[in-house]
Amino acid sequence: MKQILIVDDSMLSRKKIAKYIESQGHHVITACNGIEALNTLEQHEIALIVSDINMPEMDGREFFEKLLESRANSKNVPIVFLSSMAHSKVRKELQELGALAVIEKKSLQDLDPYLAA
């Protein structure tokens, strides 16, 4: 059982994503923005991050950049972005930074290969 961090400002989205990931047999920890996620990563061993892109305080891209700049082991945690606006430009930029994928929120089954890895 992997421990997965979900980062999304929408409580409804966090619950929906958590329910799906837990149904696949994984443990879920949630954060409502990038700042909270960085703090969570300092306290927990995480196997995969599933993050929204558009969030207040610290969006997904800024969170990912801060994560990559950190000296902690958490900078090596794989990250998949979920967004209702997975535009090709944003997708390309995030994948160039090292994201595993950028997929649409409505397609949670597209997470399966990353949950199985």
- Pick from 20, 44, 18, 21: nearest CA to 32: 18
8-state DSSP, 88 = H
Look at residue 59 in the predicted model and tell me its pLDDT: 86
Residue 58 belongs to domain spanning: 34-104
- Residue 29 lies inside a defined structural domain of this protein: no
Look at residue 71 in the predicted model and tell me its pLDDT: 66
8-state DSSP, 76 = G
- Residue 12 lies inside a defined structural domain of this protein: no
**101-104 β-sheet, strand order:** 27-31, 3-7, 48-52, 79-83, 101-104
Domain count, the chain: 1
Distance CA(15)–CA(18), nearest Å, equals 5
Query: Where do runs of H (alpha helix) occur along 1-106?
Result: 11-23, 34-43, 60-69, 88-97
Which run of H or E residues covers position 113?
A: helix 112-116
Look at residue 113 in the predicted model and tell me its pLDDT: 94
Q: What is the CATH number of the domain that holds 94?
A: 3.40.50.2300
- Residue 21 lies inside a defined structural domain of this protein: no
Share of the chain above pLDDT 90, in %: 62
Q: What is the pLDDT of residues 53-102, one digit of tens each?
A: 988 888 888 999 999 888 666 778 999 999 876 566 777 888 899 999 99
Q: What is the pLDDT of residues 10-44, one digit of tens each?
A: 999 999 999 999 999 999 999 999 999 999 999 99
